[in-house]
Structure 1
Amino acid sequence: MRTRWLVLTLLLAPMCEAAEGGSFTSLIPFDLSDYGFILNEIFNETNACNEQIKIYFDGLDKGQDWAWRMLDATAKPQTGLATGNVLHIGNYDECLVVDHVHNASLRISGKYCTAPFDQSVSASQIDDMLGRDMSRIRTSFGFCVPRACDSADLNKVFANLESLVMSPYHLHFYDELCANGDDQKLTTLDIFAVSVFGFICLLAVLSTIYELLVCKDRKTPNLLASFSLYANAKRLFSTETSKESLGCLGGIKAISLAWIILGHRALYTLYVPLVNMADILVVFRSIFTAVVLTGGLAVDTFFLISGLLVIYVFLNARSRDPNVSWLAFYVHRILRLTPALAATILLYSTLLDDLGSGPYWFLVYYFFQKKCEDNWWSTLMYVQNYVHPTEMCVGQSWYLAVDTQLFFASPVLLVAITKWPKTTVGSILLTVCASSAYTFEVSYERSIGPAFFGMTDEMFELIYTPTHTRVAPWLIGTILGYIIYHCKGKRIKLRKVVVWFSWCLLAATFAAVVYVHQYLADDETGELVFEAALFNSTIRVLWSLALSLLILLCVTGYGGILNDILSCSYFKVLARLTYSMYLVQIIVIIYYVGRTRVPAYGAIVTMVHQFWGDYCLTLLVSVPWSLLFESPFMQIGKIVLRRS
């Protein structure tokens, strides 16, 4: 009888845990001692699932080890409910090793299911249930059930139980949120992906052998040695720079990429079970977290640098050879970005789901792999920020779409700025103002909050990813590149008071940016509509102007010790890896998230600790990614374009 009480308590726990007031027994409108009546009411159909659950209950009564393991693996109400500890996991791995031979014709194995529960009677569609903020599985229980049970069986069983106790809360089972521990069979696309990755690796090995044995002493590029790991690694880890390079950009790029990874780590902290989920929202309004949230501007730093380099490199190349090959201009860009991006898309859409397992591994499939199965083509064409932006394949690739679209349109600007510089600069400033005005209007009319906290689909689609709302930093970068080109090599004399004022202005601007982020993050009412619209429309412009001043000070010789740090040779290597790191960072983070087995304690020190693990692993993964999918194709592009 004690076992029966325990089983019923655990079955009723999800419903009674969230009920308001009253004792446990007062919520149950029948006599718990009538165990047979209860079982007949719950399991009122004859099917394999119900029969195996009855055998499971009988095994518990008899004290059989396999049945107790299933019960032990099922989640129980945890302490800390008031602090947000409402994702009850249980023991995923213990459940999947359950394997009981009942008789010659019946075998009962464990299956783990994550069951969200809420007040909605009917279950949502799985695609609707898994929203961007994962809000609908913020309360869930992990159940270890017989493998014969599918979601339809379990929903009927628990619907009967909920009806019996008149529960205001309802559990929802989905086959997609269940795992039985079987090894997944490789699909045709999986085999294709393995073949592609294997071929590239084999090509790299053969190319390395060829380069070392045949053309090691050759100084001219060789097409057959383009995939050589030895030659590409030498180029990757080289600290040599040309006289035209802007040393401080290496450090700025490396630090900005680290900042982006830290921001993504903070974001995905909300995707894992936390014993203090309610408290973490308070932590997210601290001054440190404001610095983390400011990391969203690191993307604008890359836009600024991209616009700067488009103009700066073009003007330098044109000074050496006035005959510009626009074909080479585009081909170099495509070979620079597309192979590594295509490899990432291939991994996302095929093998990603096979890399791990866990009670929340389904997030990996629905948030990442499924989106690439459906929308891989838009990402490969660099239009994903306008075509299905909320279902984007490789979510962070929206930046590549914006940057590539601007790059492809840049020849108009490049020609114009060489012929009519003043008119072109004026047009650029007008475009920046128009973009900011549009962002303000959309933000204000739709009451969209600040674009860094609580990202919604509307915010993501209307102001966060479109090229026309993110163009300002890139355009400011083009003006900066034009100025630097004409100032490079010249001695610019500035008074000490001007230099000191510039540095004080920079410090004040960066501090103000952090403060504004914290101020808006503290707005729990959503009443700061005007302030949020003003923030969304001006913050990226102000950040770009401040960063432009910093770069100008470094380039003109007034950067001091900061310029020395940013121009450090180590940053040059890290800067070369920023593209590959940007592509693979999310894979590293979600691998950890999807394999989560127990609730963690959310704290700043925990977040920082996890960030350094993410950063180091991302760095390790990005090296072979760059050597296999980035450097070789850049070499091929150089060779082909040189010959043509």
Structure 2
Amino acid sequence: MATRGCLLLLFIGACAAHDCLELTLSDQTILTDSLLNGTILKLATKNESLDDSVRFNVLELWDKFPKIVVPTNGTSEQCRRESQVYLDSLDRLELWALKMFDASAKPPSGILSGNANQYGDFDECLSVDGPVRGKYCLANLEIDFRGDEKIETIDKLVHSGHYIRSNATDMGHRVPRYSSLLWGVCIPSSCSSFDLEEELASRLRPLRISVKVHNTMCSVKNAKRPYSFGKTLSITFFLAIILLLSLGTILDDGKEGSTNFEKLLNAFSLKRNLKKVFDLSDEPSRVKGVDAFRGLNAFALLVAHKSMAMAHNPYVNKVTYSAVFGMPWAVVGRSAILYTDSFLYLSGFLNANNLLQELERKGTIDIKNRLIARWFRLFPLFLSLMLFCTYILPDVNNGPQWNLVVEEHSRVCEKNMWKSFLFIHNYFGFEDMCLTHTHQIGIDMQLYVATLPLMLVLWRSRTLGWTLVIGIAVASTVLRYLAIYAYNISMFVYFGITVQKLLDAARYCYILPTHRATIYLIGVAMAYFMRTKKLNFTLSSMQTRILWALTMGIMGFTLCYPYQMGLEGYTFEPGPAASFAAFSPIMWGVYMSLAHWAICNSYTNEKAAAFVESRVFKFFNKIAYGVYLTQFPIFFYNVGVQRHAEFYSPLLLLHIPEMFTVFAISVLATVAVEMPFNQVYRIYFGKSKTKLKDK
């Protein structure tokens, strides 16, 4: 067919697989000579030796790649009939058939710059409504070149140096299937993903290209979602929140309520809560330096999370993306675990500091009241986000990867949300975790519960208490080392790491409180020393400068120690990875402790003081929990709706509209959910209730 003949060069897109590295002059010569002279290439799958490989002339290989893909041998009669109608109508140049053909991916320019992932036209495919309706499917094509030096060079170029290695069966809803080529195909709506996969596989098998088309990666217009009781419950929950916010805001007269009901309405007043959020005056209980620590580490973690989300996206120059993250300075982003360690330190410090205050006043800890307060602090906003992402967000929009990064995650949440309700979701791996980034909430809650009896023991028997603190910290360090070494995994995202290794590292080390307790306990110890005034002395100006130099040196060394692991061509070794996992939390904890102590007791520089006490940090501290929870849903919303490849630039890490959205929604979540429910706790369980009874 003349129309189908315009797909003659489709294999060019397939050969690019996912990304291409920048070519040296010699590489360009090798590749150009190979193409122009029809050099014979050896292609083999991972499970076959080179002796069994099939030889093809490159130009002949391009010609044999399917010019048009339609499941003419589909499993259902309707699929086979509509496929034939589509082909016949295409021959007659009927508009609806041309749209379906036009909506499927075509070989682009700039493949050697990384422009290999081709979505086609998602909206055009879904708009096809002739005798046959369109169905959009995003297929995963897996290509592997092997052979002599020339072939290895091409394989390296095709996969952008294998920045992250993956296959089509890997979990893709949070960790990207980076090595797969994503190819959009528009087929008749009566055909299934299995029909398309079989059609593609049968035609690409001789070319040694494997295919996977997940059912969840196919979309049709106005697809009906099954009824869900959870969705009804979620809508009811959010309507109730909106009603309370409306009543509380409208009826707020600026006076303190005299009854619990009036106080409840005031708690949901947006006017009051917005005023509190932007009230940046110092609180008596605020610990100096905490706001700055939290703000700086949260920003670094935000950028690191954004870089992982970006790995899902197609770019016309995706080779640049790989090259940037293979540079030595990219260790700052690849060491993201250190920023999460900072939050564990701060959590340990603040929890211990608050418990020590209560022990000083009462000589004991009200464990029940503490646990209720913690629940009201963490769970309402956590629950709101889970319900929204599970039952509301999937209906908000669509796109080529929407079913993967939004709907697939919704299905995981619907099945496993109950684990998050109990704060045990971090024990089941990323694959089955609702809102994977919330593993930190589970770790924090479990360590908090363990801290309650530990602080009681430390208060009543310093010898036994410190024996437990040091013993648990050492045991946690040993567990990290053994886990990393035994499973050949890494807590550092080294160049060429596989998706499975990332998931294994999470399951066996990263998301377990037993393996992350060391730096948390360093925070506990620091709170004890500062609270008991063991470190209450002032350094001279020279001593302060030496202390800061030492502190920055420890930070820089810990951060940059594994930089070689981030370079292209790195060969994984379990020993260095285990050493980094075991000792980096200790070194980072020492850095945090020294910096924290210096800020609280020893700095005299006015500019440094102004920076640490900046109002920006104070404001961020109030919305930090909202920023932490909402960033990933916003990042993956944008991944899901993206229709085409864009030009990659490192500035996209700080995409202003997206960052503004994160902060705006975080403010809204804070004033509409987090602050009201914190006040509800105070009304019914805290000081407000006590005062009311006293009256």
Change (3 A) 1:44 1:333: closer
Change (3 A) 1:181 1:289: farther
Shift of 1:45: 8.4
Partner of 2:508: 462
Shift of 1:585: 0.8
Find 1:552's aligned residue among 593, 597, 602.
Answer: 597
Provide the secondary structure at the position in 2 that maps to 1:207. Answer: helix
Stretch deviating more after TM superposition (124-133 or 521-530)? 124-133
Aligned equivalents of 2:538, 2:174: Cα separation in 1? 52
8 Å CA contact 2:140, 2:168 repeated in 1: no
Aligned equivalents of 1:597, 1:214: Cα separation in 2? 51
Aligned equivalents of 2:330, 2:62: Cα separation in 1? 42
Which residue identity does 1:246 align to in structure 2?
A: V
Partner of 1:621: 665
Partner of 2:219: 179
Percent of pairs identical after alignment? 23
1:135 correspondence with 2:177: yes
8 Å CA contact 1:42, 1:161 repeated in 2: no
Shift of 1:483: 1.8
8 Å CA contact 2:346, 2:523 repeated in 1: yes
Aligned equivalents of 1:294, 1:233: Cα separation in 2? 35
Shift of 1:220: 13
Aligned equivalents of 2:556, 2:16: Cα separation in 1? 45
- Residue segments in structure 2 that go unaligned for 5+ positions in a row: 18-40, 44-55, 145-165, 691-695
Shift of 1:385: 1.6
Aligned equivalents of 1:159, 1:220: Cα separation in 2? 65
1:73 correspondence with 2:108: no
Aligned equivalents of 2:204, 2:169: Cα separation in 1? 25
8 Å CA contact 2:173, 2:409 repeated in 1: no
Partner of 1:3: 3
Change (3 A) 1:555 1:29: closer
Partner of 1:636: 680
Partner of 1:212: 253
8 Å CA contact 1:15, 1:167 repeated in 2: no
Shift of 1:493: 2.4
Matches within 5 A, 1:287-306: 287-306=328-347
8 Å CA contact 1:336, 1:630 repeated in 2: yes
8 Å CA contact 2:9, 2:63 repeated in 1: no
Aligned equivalents of 1:23, 1:545: Cα separation in 2? 58
1:533 correspondence with 2:568: no
Shift of 1:175: 3.1
Partner of 1:579: 625
8 Å CA contact 2:72, 2:83 repeated in 1: no
Change (3 A) 1:158 1:113: same
Which residue identity does 1:381 align to in structure 2?
A: L
Which residue identity does 1:148 align to in structure 2?
A: S
1:311 correspondence with 2:352: yes
Moved over 6 A (4+): 10-19, 26-30, 38-41, 124-127, 216-221
Partner of 2:191: 149
Provide the secondary structure at the position in 2 that maps to 1:240. Answer: coil
Change (3 A) 1:142 1:421: same
8 Å CA contact 1:89, 1:142 repeated in 2: yes
Aligned equivalents of 1:126, 1:366: Cα separation in 2? 18
Shift of 1:634: 0.9
Aligned equivalents of 1:161, 1:68: Cα separation in 2? 22
1:565 correspondence with 2:611: yes
Change (3 A) 1:125 1:26: closer
1:267 correspondence with 2:267: no
8 Å CA contact 1:277, 1:602 repeated in 2: yes
Shift of 1:153: 3.3
Q: Deviations over 1:397-443 (max 9, x none)?
A: 11111111111121212212222335423432232222112211221
8 Å CA contact 1:344, 1:583 repeated in 2: yes
1:85 correspondence with 2:85: no
1:97 correspondence with 2:127: yes
Partner of 1:117: 141
- Residue segments in structure 1 that go unaligned for 5+ positions in a row: 101-106
Find 1:282's aligned residue among 323, 330, 336.
Answer: 323
Shift of 1:539: 0.7
8 Å CA contact 1:311, 1:481 repeated in 2: yes
Find 1:242's aligned residue among 283, 287, 290.
Answer: 283
Q: Deviations over 1:23-78 (max 9, x none)?
A: 54467689x9xx9xx99995598832233333323333333322222222110112
Change (3 A) 1:330 1:158: closer
Which residue identity does 1:80 align to in structure 2?
A: G
Aligned equivalents of 2:519, 2:76: Cα separation in 1? 65
8 Å CA contact 1:42, 1:160 repeated in 2: no
Matches within 5 A, 1:358-507: 358-365=399-406, 368-453=409-494, 454=497, 456-487=502-533, 492-507=537-552
Stretch deviating more after TM superposition (91-100 or 133-142)? 133-142
Partner of 1:103: none
8 Å CA contact 2:120, 2:185 repeated in 1: yes
